């Protein structure tokens, strides 16, 4: 058994296992989504996890949580549900590629990148809405209808998926 969270199991510390409270939203009523501060966030093994969670959300790197998992990606959350964080503006680390703001947005959002990227805007159903190339430090404004979207940016060495909400 590896990269699992079983409360009071005694397996903590070996093979990426955690034996503390997983921080589920409402386990008594069957809501096993992770809450902020859960030890399961960014702690799974990406080699064995599908690229999307059971709800269809992509595996995302929570910038507020250290990546303690393994595999590719090393920020996969433990369990069936990926923790979904929201923010007004994320201050990305220097090696991050994309900035998207504001989030949530009202019809139009803006983005810049630090490397040449292929960008895809995907709606919540997985439908490709728009695809384009973005050059470093170029600012682009994108207008879409209200809903939840995923912005996938690809460089030659890295793919990043970010979620944005349009009000």
What's the pLDDT at 13? 60
Q: Tell the CATH topology of 98-166.
A: Immunoglobulin-like (2.60.40)
The pLDDT assigned to 91 comes to 46
Q: What is the pLDDT of residue 8?
A: 59
- pLDDT for position 121: 94
Q: Mean pLDDT throughout 63-92?
A: 75
At 95 the pLDDT is 46
Asked if residue 2 lies in contact with residue 17, where contact means CB atoms within 8 angstroms, the answer is yes
What's the mean pLDDT in 71-75?
A: 84
Q: How far apart are CA 57 and CA 150, in angstroms?
A: 9
By the 8 A CB rule, do 69 and 43 touch? yes
Give one word for 79, left, alpha or beta, with left for phi > 0 and alpha for psi -120 to 50. left
| Per-position DSSP letters for 3-62, written without gaps between them | S-B-TT-S-TTSTT-B-S---EEEGGGTEEEEPTT-TTTT-SBGGGS-SB-TTSPBP---
Which of the two residues, 18 and 33, has the higher pLDDT score? Answer: 33
Q: What percent of the chain has pLDDT over 70?
A: 84
> Would you state the structure tokens that stand for residue 69, as one six-digit string?
């998992």
Domain boundaries, the chain: 1-85, 98-166
pLDDT number for residue 94: 38
Per-residue pLDDT of 27-40, as tens digits, reads 888 888 888 888 88
> How is residue 63 annotated by DSSP?
T
Residue 114 tokens read as: 């630090």
Least confident of 79-83, 90-94, 136-140: 90-94
Mean pLDDT of 105-133: 91
pLDDT of residue 30: 85
Among 18-27, 64-73, 84-93, the least confident range: 84-93
């Amino acid at each position: 058994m590896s990269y699992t969270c079983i409360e009071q199991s005694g397996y903590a510390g070996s093979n990426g296992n955690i034996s503390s409270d997983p921080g589920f939203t409402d386990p008594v009523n069957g809501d096993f989504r992770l809450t902020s501060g859960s030890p399961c966030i960014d702690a799974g093994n990406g080699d064995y996890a599908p690229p999307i969670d059971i709800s269809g959300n992509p595996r995302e790197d929570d910038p507020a949580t250290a990546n303690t998992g393994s595999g590719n990606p090393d920020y996969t959350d433990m369990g069936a549900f990926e923790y979904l964080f929201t923010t007004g503006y994320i201050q990305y680390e220097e090696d991050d590629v994309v900035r998207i703001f504001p989030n949530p947005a009202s019809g139009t959002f803006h983005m810049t990148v630090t490397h040449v990227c292929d960008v895809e805007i995907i709606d919540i159903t997985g439908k490709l809405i728009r695809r384009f190339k973005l050059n470093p430090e170029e600012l682009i404004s994108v207008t879409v209808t209200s809903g939840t979207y995923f912005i996938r940016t690809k460089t030659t060495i890295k793919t990043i998926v970010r979620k944005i909400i349009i009000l």
